């Protein structure tokens, strides 16, 4: 075989093209046609339009603006989470008062993130004030015979941050279990969360799944009655702070239960939950606990054999079976569930309970037709951009202009390959980032070509000018693209979902520009030079 032909076949350019072919195999798939036909039947019949419509990229998820879906803005009840924390601490504080002060306050009032205790004398209030002041976990203030207790500033700020972050994590786990593709759950501001659900056909069910706090608590049932008033009458309508009344699942039509205000074991210890059936053929939700939870659960059930164990979820009694023996590492929840309700309950318990309630501040929906229109317009913008760059490049640089346009096409291919590999979500702002990449990427070719042209004016051979042009422009290309990449990182870190979609494709485009605009283009120019046996390429 001729030496030049062997060199052309074994060139880096051919390696790059083979890499593109292999990448295309993993990037693009063909939808199976109906009626059992071959995937390539439309191509064999010359129906290219149908064939190209059957091509798709399975690993790239489309955002809500491209395939339609539902968009939520949620508000996290941070203040309620702080109150819950103080409520859980209330029992320990009152035990401390009894032990150290030999006296309990008259009554506690929990409101607006503060726990207020009233004493029958100013001396008792002062003693309480100085006792709490020793504990750095709380802020404390005295007003006559009252003491107001709250979390200290550092702990409160940490809790405000962690409550929202925990809500993002729990919602992500829940909705991933729901099977939403292209899901985006992102913190927005101090106490808001943005949720994007592309292609969801049942938003009402998803809303119910989102807002379910799923605070699972195990409490010993003290009394049962057919109405709430019947239980309150025993306390003259004023429940002690350590008691509470919760309804059964059927509300006013069912039973009401008197239980402790504070749980002995919580659902925080649940490590798994699965749907099953009991011996009567009814649906149940089996759960298992971690080591600490199993120890607490065994002690709770072992000390209360013969009594009812209340399974309370979001202050509603789901079931209250009689304890027949000590239970260790797990148990099950039974009730009149549909299959869907049982699956959702298991999913919520498995993904964790929210530390604070969520409320909907905004809801909007995007139709699938609008999303398809966005895709077509975005692709059209990319094609028009490529065409205009091609016309300019060919007019100004001739053959090298064609190679520069090939590098741009390779650039777009690499962007899609990056997005596919990381299973990223492609959005309309992301397509805008791809269009912007086309305009930015041609700068690399211009810098290289102008360097080659300058060297040729000084009598340097074409092959040497090519090497010198690429070497001289590389530093400038790296500097400019690294700066833009850092800007993309900042947008990704602090931007909203739309800005993040733009930042992802921008950063992917910059990496693709460096690869395609330097290495691929260099290989292409060298290959064409070898093809012309080292002769100059006029431009």
Q: Per the domain annotation, does 526 fall within a domain?
A: yes
DSSP state of 461: -
Asked if residue 204 belongs to a domain, the reply is yes
CATH number at residue 340: 3.30.1360.200
Number of domains in the chain: 3
Verify that 200 and 220 share a domain, yes or no. no
Provide the residue count of the chain.
539
On whether the CB atoms of residues 151 and 159 are closer than 8 A, the answer is yes
Domain's final residue, options 351, 379, 397: 351
The CA-CA-CA angle for residues 99, 103, 109, to 5°, reads 105
* 339 and 395 co-located in one domain: no
Helix axes 368-397, 428-457, angle to 10 degrees: 10
Q: What is the pLDDT along the chain (539 residues), one digit of tens a residue?
A: 455 566 666 678 888 989 888 888 888 876 666 555 555 555 556 565 665 666 667 777 777 777 777 888 999 888 888 887 787 777 777 777 777 776 666 667 777 778 888 887 888 888 888 888 887 778 888 888 888 888 888 888 888 888 888 888 878 877 776 666 667 888 888 889 988 888 776 677 777 777 766 677 889 999 999 888 889 888 888 888 778 999 987 665 678 999 988 777 877 777 787 888 877 777 888 888 888 888 888 888 899 998 998 888 778 888 788 887 888 787 777 766 677 777 777 776 776 667 778 888 888 877 655 556 766 777 777 778 778 878 888 888 888 888 988 998 899 899 989 888 887 778 878 888 887 887 778 888 888 988 988 888 888 888 888 889 899 888 888 888 898 899 989 988 887 767 888 888 889 999 999 999 889 999 999 888 888 776 777 76
Is residue 375 domain-shared with residue 501, that is, in the same domain?
yes
Beta-bridged to residue 115, according to DSSP, are 110, 149
Residue 187, domain extent = 69-211
The CATH number of residue 387's host domain is 1.20.1640.10
CA dihedral 325, 330, 335, 340 (to 10 degrees): -170
Going by C-alpha positions, the residue among 499, 513, 508 that lies closest to residue 418 is 508
- Is position 495 within any domain? yes
Q: Are residues 288 and 398 in the same domain?
A: no
Query: Do 281 and 202 fall into the same domain?
Result: no
Residues 206 and 250 grouped into a single domain? no
CATH of the domain at 109: 3.30.70.3400
In a domain, 11, yes or no: no
Distance CA 382, CA 73 (A): 31
Beta strands at 61-62 and 425-426: parallel, antiparallel or unpaired: parallel
Cα separation, 495 vs 424, in Å, equals 16
Same domain, 155 and 199: yes
Residues 301 and 385 occupy one common structural domain: no
517/377 same-domain check? yes
Q: Are residues 329 and 386 in the same domain?
A: no
Domain stop point among 325, 351, 377: 351
Distance CA 246, CA 42 (A): 64
Last residue of a domain, one of 182, 211, 240: 211
Both 181 and 152 in one domain: the answer is: yes
Report yes or no on 33 lying in a domain.
no
Strand, helix or coil at 74?
A: strand
């Amino acid at each position: 075989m001729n030496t030049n032909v062997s060199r052309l076949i074994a060139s880096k350019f051919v390696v790059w093209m083979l890499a593109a072919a292999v990448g295309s195999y993993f990037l693009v798939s063909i939808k199976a046609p109906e009626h059992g036909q071959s995937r390539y039947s439309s191509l064999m019949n010359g129906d290219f339009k149908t064939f190209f419509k059957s091509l798709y990229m399975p690993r790239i998820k489309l955002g809500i603006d491209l395939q339609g879906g539902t968009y939520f803005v949620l508000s996290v009840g941070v203040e309620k989470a702080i109150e819950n924390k103080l409520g859980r601490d209330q029992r320990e504080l009152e035990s401390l008062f009894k032990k150290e002060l030999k006296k309990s306050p008259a009554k506690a009032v929990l409101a607006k993130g503060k726990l207020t205790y009233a004493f029958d004398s100013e001396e008792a209030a002062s003693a309480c004030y100085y006792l709490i002041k020793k504990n750095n976990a709380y802020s404390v203030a005295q007003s006559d015979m009252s003491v107001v207790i709250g979390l200290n500033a550092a702990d409160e700020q940490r809790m405000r941050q962690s409550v929202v972050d925990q809500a993002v994590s729990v919602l992500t786990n829940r909705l991933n279990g729901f099977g939403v593709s292209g899901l985006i759950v992102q913190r927005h501001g101090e106490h808001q969360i943005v949720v994007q659900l592309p292609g969801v056909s049942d938003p009402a069910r998803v809303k119910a799944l989102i807002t379910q706090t799923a605070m699972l608590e195990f409490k010993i049932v003290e009394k049962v009655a057919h109405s709430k008033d019947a239980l309150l009458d025993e306390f003259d309508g004023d429940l002690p702070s350590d008691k509470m009344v919760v309804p059964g699942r059927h509300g006013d039509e069912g039973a009401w239960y008197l239980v402790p205000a504070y749980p002995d074991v919580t659902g925080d210890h649940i490590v798994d939950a699965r749907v099953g059936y009991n011996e009567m053929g009814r649906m149940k939700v089996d759960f298992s606990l971690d080591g600490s939870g199993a120890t607490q659960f065994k002690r709770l059930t072992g000390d209360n054999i013969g009594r009812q164990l209340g399974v309370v979820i979001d202050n509603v009694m789901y079931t209250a079976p009689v304890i027949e023996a000590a239970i260790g590492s797990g148990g099950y929840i039974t009730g009149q569930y549909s299959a869907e309700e049982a699956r959702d309950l298991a999913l919520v318990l498995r993904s964790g309970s929210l530390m604070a309630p969520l409320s909907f501040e905004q809801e909007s929906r995007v139709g699938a037709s609008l999303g398809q229109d966005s895709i077509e317009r975005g692709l059209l913008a990319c094609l028009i951009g490529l065409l205009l760059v091609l016309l300019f490049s060919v007019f100004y640089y001739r053959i090298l202009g064609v190679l520069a346009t090939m590098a741009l096409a390779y650039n777009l291919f690499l962007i899609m390959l990056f997005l596919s590999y990381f299973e990223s979500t492609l959005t309309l702002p992301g397509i805008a980032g791809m269009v912007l990449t086309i305009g930015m990427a041609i700068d690399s070719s211009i810098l290289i070509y102008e360097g080659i042209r300058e060297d040729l004016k000084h009598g340097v051979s074409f092959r040497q000018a090519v090497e010198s042009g690429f070497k001289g422009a590389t530093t400038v290309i790296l500097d400019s693209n690294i700066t833009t990449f850092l800007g993309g990182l900042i947008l990704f870190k602090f931007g909203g979902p739309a800005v993040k979609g733009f930042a992802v494709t921008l950063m992917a485009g910059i990496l693709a520009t460096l690869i395609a605009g330097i290495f691929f283009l260099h290989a292409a120019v060298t290959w064409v030079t070898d093809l012309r046996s080292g002769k100059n390429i006029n431009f």
